[in-house]
Structure 1
Amino acid sequence: MKTITIFKRKVNIALLSAAAVLAGVAGCKKGTFDINGTSPNAPSSVLPKFSLSASLSGTANLMYSAVGGVGGNQDMINNWMGYWTQSGAYTPSNTYVLYQLTSGTGAGNWDMGFNNLSNYHQLIKASSTDATLVNYKAIGMIMTAFVYQRIVDLYNKAPYTGALVPNSTFSYKYDDGATIYKACIAKIDSAVAAIKANPGAVSPGNYDIMFKGDMGMWVKFGNTLKLKMLMRQTASSANGSLGDAGVKSALSGYTADDFLGAGEDASINPGYSSAADNAENPLYIDVVKTSTGQPGYNEKYFRANKYGVDFYHAHNDLRDTMFYLPADADGMIHGRLYGSQNGNEANSVISGLTGFGLNASASESSPIIPAFESLFLLAEAQQRGYIAGSAADSYKAGVEESFRILGSDKATADAYMAQADPVANFALASDPIKAIITQEWAACNSLDPLESYSNYRRLGIPRIPVSAYPGVTVDHIPYRFPYPTSELSYNSANVPDGGTGTEALNSKIFWMP
């Protein structure tokens, strides 16, 4: 992918040739341009099939890349949620361990998120003039909702109405999170209806690097994204959040078959390989190794978090060996207390990260919504009475899928759940919702920490302790990210609360209780 330097609405439409995208090889060129000017990439002339491949690849980078300005940054959330920690060989970052957030904290999630949205906007425009391209337009609409869901879950309010239409003053007004969510759910519904109404429309085929043109899977993905957005709103009926009754009503008529099921991961793969660094899976090169076998860009910096390691060990959960590597010192899995000042915790004694489980490689696909996540969402919805079916069965399938995506098998997962342990054995759980959310947290390690972060803010599950670093005075993890420097520089008149970082600790997402 291209390395991109951007500011608010200075967007690089990173559209590659189909051959380059499908081969997983891209050039390395740095540059910027103003969306109000003439694009050197001429996005209006890019064929939808090429636009689709590059836009989807951009979404994978948004989720997993922390390198070269091409993505967001989930690394910090992986730290906060008890999965990763900072190495004892480095001076700790105050942003991480003291929660001293600034306008530069996690800015890629916003800047590259809007870059990705602009690409999908171009895809929708390019496919809107030809009725046979309805599938391309529908995918663009669903993925627009996906990216906006991430932005709202991280920031709450954001520019939505008119946000992707350039204006000369760079003035983009903010909509509240509830309004954006409502509009995006309507967009999903419209896209799903369009796919179903046009079975003979042109298939995107292999240019669709997530489902290979299987539009039935896109319908399931859209429904699952809608389920995710609705389940966010169960704990509050204030500030536009639907609350229990509203979510139940919105899910009326859905069945388990409408959502991603076992083996149906929504994963993106443009042709990742170890042929070159910029061809590797973005998480793999971040925390495992480069194409030449050298340590990944952050492999030495991020280590196993003691909270996660202790959880897996306490419940005889073999996923410890799937998320973490044996320490060099003794061949065992060891974690480091988040915020620890122990000078003896060198990388040789604290475990590194596998990236994607037992059989991780540079060619691994990037999960967008893995099957296990869909099944845990379904299990919670069934337990709450929103959707018919057995929460216990969906829970079981979710755990099995977690083991499966990490390279393990159903038998190992079933043995784990057969223990006389209410954390693993659903039949023994005194609080089924807590059991479901805890297992979803255990499965989301490295793969979707934002889902765990959202559940933590929605339900307080699990109760992740704050950093042990000296000087920490807060009693909870920050509730959201501060608005980025790009917004303060170009759109400050519209930023809701200054974006300096101090408000991010307690300022809530609209669906939080």
Structure 2
Amino acid sequence: MKNILRLLFFFLLFTSCEEHLNINDNPNTPVNVDKSFVLTAAQGSLATGMGGQLANLGGFLAQYHTQPPSASQYLSLDTYNMNIDFSDRLWNELWAGCLNDLKFVLEKSDEEGDTGSFLIASALRVYTFQVLTDLYGDIPYSEALLGDQNITPNPDLGSDIYSGLIGEIDAALSKYTNNPIPSNVGAQDAIYNAEMEEWVKFANTLKLKLYIRMAYTSQANASAVNALLAADNFISTDAKFALYEDAENKANPFYDVQIDRLGDVNNIASNSLLQFLRTNSDPRDAAIYRLNDDTPGIFRGIDQGDRDTYASEVASNFSRPNIIATTPVYLITVAESNFLQAEALIRYSGGSGAKDKYDAGVLNSFLTYGLDPSLAMALTDPGGTYEYVASPDIETALRQVIIQKWVSLANVNNIEGFFETNRTQYPETVTLGNQDYSIGNFVVSVGSVLTGNQTPNTLFYPDTETSKNPNITQKTSLTEKVWWDQK
């Protein structure tokens, strides 16, 4: 019976249309559905957003890929000219799909006294709200998801949302610790198979990420970070959604849309990352990009947005993202966790132990990409290209960590790559012609509609939201900063 139900769910989950799942089209909360199936639907919805539209957007903004000269599908992203309609679908996916489904799981888990499932759903809810507020800034939170009780919720300040999210994690962890009932969703948890030790670690890692995101703000909390470091209970296995198949409507969302449906013509390697990898003899180049289709094939990219220089060429003349139908969508990786810990040690513990975490971050990045970890060690060992060099200057020490974090997130969690480069300003953005790709530099995308060295810091609220909710005031520019962007 369980297998029959699972097959039925897979049919529902993977009957997709463009970039979102049909199972999530209906914003009404399900009534007589087992919460385990709804949890999988919520995870699938989150993965669709993260691995689909956000992977594409983050790829452009973190300069992992750029628009080829022969296509213009995403020219608005490459020139920083996204409009108010850009994220209508994404907003609906994460609110009406993921968060709405998680609300149902939380309510059912609470009714049943299932503290394990409550923790799982809480952690995913916090993760989703973190992504939304990091993208848009102030969004509905305290008044959100109340249905007919409040159809025009007021937005909360991003700083207040972060405080609330940390409180949610603490409450869910406390609820589970005081009454540790293992989740009964079993294999319907497509991320950690309802292994509660893994979810506790995920919650702790997510909390560390929230604290580190606040590092340049007045809410930076050294004691809370050091308490997490002392407990040392972070993820040891990548948190990923990996139910994809090499079949129509069942593939990785980026592959399904950009490669399969749109013909692999819209995303080519940006020299910002490709040349960093190539000049440093980093074998991750072959994991992140495919060789071009010429014979013999080579790795080849263009400077961000520099389409006119190559006007007569097509996408297949260049390297493209190495994403296949079964590539998982990653929420948090062990590499990211190690880089978070390295930054925490640099900022709040005088740098002691940061080298080990940095080295572990690079090594685990290689493992996530399916590469031999000894190749990473050759780069980070004494005398290696990526050898960690301790420094009494926090920013000097930190830059090494963030550059490697930026690399490790390519095709893994592109939008997180954007958030972190936005927060830290590493790699630094320079005008084309002044870059040094070997150390890690962004260039202002050719054709940018913004002035100077400005790049986007946020997204406009979706038109579908501002037209329905008078309490949401549209931004005037993509250069408005979210609250933690204070460097």
Q: Percent identity?
A: 25
Q: Is the 8 A contact 1:465 1:476 kept in 2?
A: no
Residue 251 of structure 2 is aligned to residue 280 of structure 1:
yes
Report the equivalent of 1:164.
145
1:243-282, Cα deviation, whole Å (9 max, x unpaired): 3xxx2122242236634345x101123x3212x3221122
SS in 1 for 2:367: helix
Map of 1:62 onto structure 2: 49
- Change in 2 beyond 3 A, CA 1:273/1:126: same
What are the equivalent positions in structure 2 for 1:33-182 lying under 5 Å apart?
39=28, 43-66=30-53, 73-91=54-72, 93-115=74-96, 116-131=98-113, 133-167=114-148, 170-182=151-163
Which residue does 1:336 correspond to in 2? Answer: 302
Work out the CA distance in 2 between the residues paired with 1:200 and 1:106.
Answer: 38
The unaligned stretches of length 5 or more in structure 1 are 1-15, 67-72, 289-294, 356-360
CA distance in 2, matches of 1:322, 1:118: 35
CA distance in structure 2 between the partners assigned to 1:258 and 1:277 by the alignment: 42
Deviation of 1:202 (Å):
4.3
SS of residue paired to 1:44: coil
SS of 2:147 mapped into structure 1: coil
For the pair 1:346 / 2:314, whether they are aligned, the reply is yes
Contact 2:23-2:41 within 8 A present in 1 as well: no
CA deviation after TM superposition for structure 1 residue 370, in Å: 1.0
CA contact (8 A) 2:255 2:325 kept: yes
Describe the shift of the 1:111–1:471 C-alpha distance in structure 2 as closer, same or farther (beyond 3 A). closer
Alignment of 1:335-374 (within 5 A): 335-340=301-306, 341-342=308-309, 343-355=311-323, 361-374=324-337
Residue 195 of structure 2 is aligned to residue 186 of structure 1: no
CA shift digits 1:14-35 (9 cap, x unpaired): xx95434457863357699775
Aligned-pair distance for 1:453?
1.7
- Comparing 91-100 with 44-53, which one deviates more in the overlay? 91-100
* Residues 372 and 397 in structure 1, CA contact (< 8 A), matched pair in contact too: yes
Letter in 2 for 1:177: G
Q: What is the deviation of 1:48?
A: 1.4
Matched, 1:250 2:224: yes
SS state of the match for residue 260, structure 1? coil
Change (3 A) 1:33 1:218: closer
Task: Look up the SS of the partner of 1:426 in the other structure.
Answer: coil
Give the whole-Å Cα distance in 2 for the aligned partners of 1:335 and 1:120: 41
The one-letter amino acid of 1:43's match is P
Structure-2 change in CA distance of 1:177 and 1:470 (3 Å): closer
Task: Call closer, same or farther: CA 1:114–1:438 in 2, change over 3 Å.
Answer: same
1:203–1:388: structure 2 CA closer, same or farther, 3 Å change rule? farther
Contact 1:110 1:484 in 2 (8 A): yes
Kept in 2: contact 1:281–1:366 (CA 8 A)? yes
CA contact (8 A) 1:195 1:219 kept: no
Q: Which moved more, 1:188-197 or 1:107-116?
A: 107-116
CA separation in 1, counterparts of 2:33 and 2:111? 14
Question: Paired residue for 1:477?
Answer: 455
How many Å separate the matches in 2 of 1:388 and 1:195?
A: 33
CA distance in 1, matches of 2:39, 2:452: 43
Letter in 2 for 1:433: L
- Greater fraction of residues in helix: 2
TM-score under structure 1 length normalisation: 0.83
Following TM superposition, by how much is the alpha carbon of 1:223 offset from its aligned partner in structure 2, in angstroms?
Answer: 0.6
User: Could you say what secondary structure the match of 1:446 adopts?
Assistant: coil
- Deviation at residue 387 of structure 1 after TM alignment: 9.6
Indicate conservation of the 8 Å contact 2:122/2:172, yes or no: yes
Distance across 2 between alignment mates of 1:32 and 1:234: 35
SS of aligned partner of 1:447:
coil
1:171-209: per-residue Cα shift (whole Å, max 9, x none)?
111111111111111101111122222334443221111
Selected match of 1:208 from 185, 189, 195: 189
The equivalent residue for 2:338 is 375
For the 8 Å contact 1:315–1:421, the answer to whether it is kept is no
Which residue number corresponds to residue 441 of structure 1? Answer: 406
Structure 2 CA distance for partners of 1:324 and 1:44, relative to 1, 3 Å: same
Give the equivalent residue in structure 2 for 1:385: 348
Partner of 1:324: 289
Residues 1:297 and 2:262 aligned together: yes
Measured against aligned partners, the alpha-carbon deviations of 1:449-504 in whole angstroms (never above 9, x if no partner) come to 2222222222211112211227653412111000001112201x2113x24xx422
In 2: Cα distance, 1:213 partner to 1:118 partner:
20
Say which is worse superposed, 364-373 or 174-183, in terms of deviation.
364-373
Contact kept in structure 1, 2:81 and 2:449, CA below 8 Å: no
Query: 2:400 corresponds to which letter in structure 1?
Result: A
Superposition CA RMSD, Å: 2.5
Match of 1:198 in 2: 179
1:221 aligned residue: 202
